[in-house]
Structure 1
């Protein structure tokens, strides 16, 4: 494989020498900052999030009152990064961040790592001290290339103004090809302030980078793998589709495959919405806080068709016990695990695949659909329906006079937005995130924007601002918890200043709920560092010039939710909820999917979110 890659690169280099890249003189006489502005406009950028500082001031001066894109001034650079993520997830286009050197750049590390783990395309432009003082510990100098190398797909420091336009185009290309992800371009101040004096190359010169090829490799082997996948699917008696984030853009093909072959579908957290959860074939979310019936199906399926998922630990539980029947079927030649994946390094990393289909999932599903047989699979569906009837998502309703349950609030949100295709939901991280996954019904692709791999508390509000900036005509709701919201709550001022009408649905239990749950279950109720003495969030939001209200009684929930959804500007609705509630089902650390903690809810109704 390495030899093949080396030969391909050498061939590309030879072709490059024979056909030198085209140059342009349109940037002669312009500063690096002006080149930056024009190149972003050429790339179709319409929104930039960031915060200024000394090292990046030439660029901020060049984009002053830009006619090409809006600039949204955040209250913190981390917020800018998460806004760019929300923008990218809502549009499929890369989100753009512009910050200064030193602490401005280092504050983007969390969004960069978050974007890397969840496959979100963002491009961060960081200011840097002038090249002549690099390495001298100059004011606000940081080795941001070294710092971000592990948390980006690619990073580069521009060392010549003639390279600037090309490096920008390379950054956008890498961020959006192959498995999408974050890139960083470091801009020394003398480069952005300096003049371009000669023609430049603007097109990417990425010899040996194959992200744009999505698969190609050996076409003969790929066709053989597609044929093997078709054969295994058609032979299976108990197949199951497992869809991850990589299936979001292939939603139409996923739904066609499921209905054509009568195959049930479960998803990862990031795959939610790729398949309509209102469909009878939906088993909802898999994993640690997934449905009992999805987890049981994963253990009992003889053929698992994995679409753009990476088998993280929150999905698999104890790996040796994962997909037990499919592994048995593989050994007996009657089934196994098929993995459709954009990048080969994800295949076999955690769970071995019997058939690996590399490349764009949408394209590859289109290739196999005409060859997939329609089968009733009656016994399999009878078993699944039995599990669904026995183990629905449920909770114990609040007693009269007791605080509301967070699940009930989410059910009411779904009730009042059901049937709409213009609703985007973001979340923070914690119990509220899992309850949103369980008690909202996800019917459309790319409508849940949440931090999955890194689990970044504070993600919800800024990502909602980014999503709303991208889609101003959509309803954008941040379902958040008090602890998670507190980490980036300063961005309410950003929403107010730019009149970005995000809706913060704050589930306040005055605790770090998920951590408390673990302390209840595994640490004998020793609440070390989890009790929150919160400010008055309503007064805080109002001080930021946002509308706000508090709902403390379930009797007013319906009316308050209607007010919340009808607001035109940014609004915070604080819903006071039970602090001792646990999120079930739950697979404990180091346990298998068979070892779920289900909770005692036999006398409670199932969710009304259908």
Structure 2
């Protein structure tokens, strides 16, 4: 069957079971959009306000559904506007295919109108990328791109298609997508036996679980593993929803804003079992801080072994497979004394102060309303840490946040993608007023598509996290972090066509949340908090992770 490149692209996307694309049209992709028009009953296109929003939406869609997210943009600035979203997906191992148009092949390299070398620009932030110079190569490239995006450690792949390639014709024959198999070829008997030996010999094992648990879908395997060896479990930011937060072995998040129990346990254990985590500087700070423990690292990506921290033993492979292999071979352990010490470090539920609006009070209310179906997306900053610390996650793929890149402006686009892919769940995007200002235009995308997202703006009139650092480490020199913006977020949301409420006192929370949850479309809640409110506990940059600063320390200087 002889088809144009644009037709081949759309049919190939359908072959890959793509149902949704997030994008923004332009001259170089007109042929593609013309074909999308013909297939609009089969592929739902979500028009965002900005290409960066499209990339974040594809990312959020992938995280919430486990499918490949797809975004589409035109050449030049359209393509470069995807870059931050691609980098965000790359840092957090999100399967995504970004499709860009480009000028005709005869105009490449001539500084033509709206021409950029997007494959050169994105080479460091993609698993692989392509420029399609021959329409005869297009179908196989698309097939390979979807395979690469999903196999092993997932990540974004970019396909750049010059305009003449979308118009030229080639033979198309339906191709079956490449089967994705779990990575196991590097799992050796020797590495398994060494791990078993370390686990069985340990008296104070401690588990540091990362984003790889959720990517692998290994939540149940992690629970079974932790329960068999009776080991406390901490999670990185990327693993918050991949281990039930109410489990008796859970010690909370680890790292700069981690719990006392997690951070101290990491320095007191005799075996640190690291699962699908990369020893980020925001988690471990420095290898010397965990020098008392042997380290077992299990990861699907061999490049992560010994990259940031020297380990004593490692297994390279898919976590679900590795844990399945280890479970019947390890000894059941007691560790009562060790668990007792860790449990003593767990903080009891704090008495909430009800005379002012605080993050803790808001999340306490959200927890009481959550039936397990809430999805929380966030921007980046204090509100992100408060969500991780205080919301009680029960199910995997319900926490969507930018971990590795820390992208302000990520959350609302990601919420749009998540809500589009998971219509059976209710998505909340938690933002600070600083982050919300970066992507508030996408609220109208939610309105147009009637997505029942609840956008909460934790409004403290400042760039809260940067201000917190200025307060603690820069002698309160608040350089350019006080916003002093006269924006009325309620009126802004209403101008975009959505509903909006403002909360200024605790007694308003219940009624507003009830109204928001009853709404069939998007809602914004302007939630006012004090600009001196800080995220605690905290570890100073470069300090050992057991040197924890809390609110009392600040009061006592």
Gaps of 5+ in 2: none
Query: Could you tell me which of 163, 169, 177 is aligned with 1:189?
Result: 163
TM-score (norm: length of structure 2) = 0.96
Query: Could you tell me which of 248, 251, 258 is aligned with 1:290?
Result: 258
Tell me, yes or no, if the aligned pair for 2:8 and 2:172 is still in contact at 8 Å: no
Alpha-carbon distance between aligned partners in 1 of 2:532 and 2:24, rounded to the nearest angstrom = 40
CA deviation after TM superposition for structure 1 residue 261, in Å: 1.9
SS in 2 for 1:476: strand
- Deviation readout 1:396-428 (Å, 9 max, x if unpaired): 736x4xx411221122111211xx232111000
Q: What pairs with 1:179-258 in structure 2 (closer than 5 Å)? A: 179-196=153-170, 198=171, 214-217=183-186, 222-248=188-214, 249-258=217-226
Alpha-carbon distance between aligned partners in 2 of 1:430 and 1:521, rounded to the nearest angstrom = 16
Q: Which residue of 2 aligns with 1:466?
A: 417
Q: What pairs with 1:111-122 in structure 2 (closer than 5 Å)? A: 111-122=85-96
Query: Could you tell me which of 407, 412, 417 is aligned with 2:360?
Result: 407
SS in 2 for 1:273: helix
Alpha-carbon distance between aligned partners in 2 of 1:573 and 1:114, rounded to the nearest angstrom = 26
Distance 1:356-1:68 versus aligned 2 partners, 3 A rule:
same
Alpha-carbon distance between aligned partners in 2 of 1:312 and 1:101, rounded to the nearest angstrom = 34
Alpha-carbon distance between aligned partners in 2 of 1:492 and 1:562, rounded to the nearest angstrom = 20
Alpha-carbon distance between aligned partners in 1 of 2:11 and 2:168, rounded to the nearest angstrom = 15
Distance 1:201-1:404 versus aligned 2 partners, 3 A rule:
closer
Query: Could you tell me which of 528, 536, 545 is aligned with 1:593?
Result: 545
Q: Which residue of 1 aligns with 2:308?
A: 350
- Deviation readout 1:271-314 (Å, 9 max, x if unpaired): 11221110111001000001011000000011111110011001
CA deviation after TM superposition for structure 1 residue 362, in Å: 0.2
CA deviation after TM superposition for structure 1 residue 566, in Å: 2.4
Alpha-carbon distance between aligned partners in 2 of 1:406 and 1:231, rounded to the nearest angstrom = 44
SS in 2 for 1:429: coil
Q: What pairs with 1:279-318 in structure 2 (closer than 5 Å)? A: 279-318=247-286
Alpha-carbon distance between aligned partners in 2 of 1:482 and 1:226, rounded to the nearest angstrom = 49
Tell me, yes or no, if the aligned pair for 1:519 and 1:526 is still in contact at 8 Å: yes
Do residues 549 (structure 1) and 515 (structure 2) align?
Answer: no
Query: Could you tell me which of 519, 527, 535 is aligned with 1:575?
Result: 527
The count of aligned residue pairs is: 551
CA deviation after TM superposition for structure 1 residue 211, in Å: 9.3
Q: Which residue of 2 aligns with 1:4?
A: none
Q: Which residue of 1 aligns with 2:536?
A: 584
Query: Could you tell me which of 270, 288, 291 is aligned with 2:238?
Result: 270
Find the structure with the greater CA-based Rg: 1
Alpha-carbon distance between aligned partners in 2 of 1:247 and 1:199, rounded to the nearest angstrom = 38
Query: Could you tell me which of 453, 457, 474 is aligned with 2:408?
Result: 457
Distance 1:530-1:65 versus aligned 2 partners, 3 A rule:
farther
CA deviation after TM superposition for structure 1 residue 200, in Å: 7.2
Q: Which residue of 2 aligns with 1:106?
A: 80
CA deviation after TM superposition for structure 1 residue 325, in Å: 2.0
CA deviation after TM superposition for structure 1 residue 189, in Å: 0.2
SS in 2 for 1:48: strand
Tell me, yes or no, if the aligned pair for 1:427 and 1:433 is still in contact at 8 Å: yes
Q: Which residue of 2 aligns with 1:7?
A: none
Distance 1:199-1:137 versus aligned 2 partners, 3 A rule:
same
Alpha-carbon distance between aligned partners in 1 of 2:62 and 2:424, rounded to the nearest angstrom = 16
Query: Could you tell me which of 431, 435, 455 is aligned with 1:504?
Result: 455
Alpha-carbon distance between aligned partners in 1 of 2:123 and 2:139, rounded to the nearest angstrom = 21
CA deviation after TM superposition for structure 1 residue 178, in Å: 1.1
Q: Which residue of 1 aligns with 2:228?
A: 260
Distance 1:601-1:279 versus aligned 2 partners, 3 A rule:
farther
SS in 2 for 1:260: helix
Q: Which residue of 2 aligns with 1:476?
A: 427
Tell me, yes or no, if the aligned pair for 2:245 and 2:393 is still in contact at 8 Å: yes
Tell me, yes or no, if the aligned pair for 1:163 and 1:201 is still in contact at 8 Å: no
Q: Which residue of 2 aligns with 1:324?
A: 291
Q: What pairs with 1:27-66 in structure 2 (closer than 5 Å)? A: 28=2, 30-66=3-39
Do residues 141 (structure 1) and 122 (structure 2) align?
Answer: no
Tell me, yes or no, if the aligned pair for 2:376 and 2:427 is still in contact at 8 Å: yes
Distance 1:165-1:395 versus aligned 2 partners, 3 A rule:
farther
Tell me, yes or no, if the aligned pair for 1:393 and 1:439 is still in contact at 8 Å: no
Query: Could you tell me which of 351, 367, 374 is aligned with 1:423?
Result: 374
CA deviation after TM superposition for structure 1 residue 521, in Å: 0.6
Q: What pairs with 1:522-533 in structure 2 (closer than 5 Å)? A: 522-533=473-484
CA deviation after TM superposition for structure 1 residue 460, in Å: 1.0
Distance 1:380-1:589 versus aligned 2 partners, 3 A rule:
same
Q: Which residue of 2 aligns with 1:378?
A: 336
Moved over 2 A (4+): 198-205, 210-213, 391-398
Tell me, yes or no, if the aligned pair for 1:262 and 1:375 is still in contact at 8 Å: yes
Q: What pairs with 1:535-546 in structure 2 (closer than 5 Å)? A: 535-546=487-498
Do residues 519 (structure 1) and 470 (structure 2) align?
Answer: yes
Tell me, yes or no, if the aligned pair for 1:317 and 1:587 is still in contact at 8 Å: no
Alpha-carbon distance between aligned partners in 1 of 2:349 and 2:101, rounded to the nearest angstrom = 49
CA deviation after TM superposition for structure 1 residue 259, in Å: 1.4
Alpha-carbon distance between aligned partners in 1 of 2:422 and 2:43, rounded to the nearest angstrom = 15
SS in 1 for 2:392: coil
TM-score (norm: length of structure 1) = 0.88
Distance 1:48-1:65 versus aligned 2 partners, 3 A rule:
same
Alpha-carbon distance between aligned partners in 2 of 1:159 and 1:394, rounded to the nearest angstrom = 61
SS in 1 for 2:218: helix
Distance 1:375-1:213 versus aligned 2 partners, 3 A rule:
closer
